[in-house]
């Protein structure tokens, strides 16, 4: 499943095993361990990047941040699309986090 997001063009967020692996490698923890109430911009953009890189392997976190700044994309637009994509990939986001936590126990 893909969730479209309008950036410099229509891009499609997808959170499969590859994206989750990239998040773990970049942030040093899995998605379940990220405190979304206190997420940093770097963490947020890394998660979004991981969901987009499947269709553009030249995309970097810095390039993504530049696109967001250049196009004046709102924070809510990004977080809404990311949350929707995670929900589509795993069902209820809280359930997805609980499922990941059970895998790490």
- The predicted-structure confidence for 9-63, as pLDDT tens digits, reads as follows 999 999 999 999 999 999 999 888 889 899 999 999 999 999 999 999 999 999 9
CA–CA distances in Å: residue 14 to residues 17, 36, 38, 104: 10, 19, 23, 22
At residue 56, the pLDDT reads 97
At residue 1, the pLDDT reads 81
Select the more confidently predicted residue: 91 or 59. 59
At residue 30, the pLDDT reads 86
- pLDDT over 90 at 105, yes or no: no
At residue 87, the pLDDT reads 87
User: Based on the number of CB atoms within 10 Å of its own CB, is 75 exposed (0-12), middle (13-18) or buried (19 or more)?
Assistant: exposed
Least confident window among 12-16, 43-47, 78-82, 101-105: 101-105
């Amino acid at each position: 499943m893909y969730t479209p997001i309008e950036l410099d063009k229509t891009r499609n967020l997808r959170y499969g095993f590859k994206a989750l692996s990239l998040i773990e490698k970049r942030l040093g923890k899995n998605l379940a361990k990220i405190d979304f109430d206190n997420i940093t911009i770097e963490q947020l953009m890394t998660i979004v990047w991981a969901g987009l890189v499947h269709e553009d392997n030249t995309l970097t976190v810095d390039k993504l941040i530049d696109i967001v700044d250049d196009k004046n994309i709102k924070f809510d637009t990004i977080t809404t699309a990311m949350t929707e994509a995670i929900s589509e990939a795993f069902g209820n986001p809280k359930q997805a986090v609980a499922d990941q936590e059970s895998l790490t126990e």
